[in-house]
Copies of this chain bind each other. A is one copy, B any other.
Amino acid sequence: MKIAQTPKPPYYAVIFTSEAADLDESYHKMSDLMVSLAERQDGYLGLESSRTDIGITVSYWRDLDCIMKWKENTKHRSAQQLGRERWYENYTIRICRVEREYSK
């Protein structure tokens, strides 16, 4: 996992923060599958993810329409339902407009 190489702002970020209930093997398989599907979605710009006691996954997108299309993706919807029911105790999703970016 590296820092995502994103274009000049503005673009969009989805910050997904979770407190996990039970991240079993089925979770990790699904997580890998969702990343590979997201990468093929129109407007996908990159993804960053880490987990200690909470998990933070940030995905980057060209615009809000691309985010909504990914949210409605059929396979992604099944994964979202499993996430709510099985894997996540709590989560928060924040949809953000990235206005400035700077790097070392």
List residues of chain A with CB under 8 Å of any chain B CB: 1-4, 6, 9, 13, 15, 17-19, 48-56, 58, 84, 88, 90-104
Contacts and interface: CB of A to CB of B under 8 A. Distances in A.
A53 B52 CA distance: 11
Contacts of A4: 17, 92
Contacts of A9: 94
B1 A94 contact: no
B2 A19 contact: yes
A18 B53 CA distance: 18
Contacts of A19: 2-3
Contacts of A92: 3-4, 6, 101-103
Contacts of A99: 95-97
A76 to B, nearest CB: 15
A60 to B, nearest CB: 9
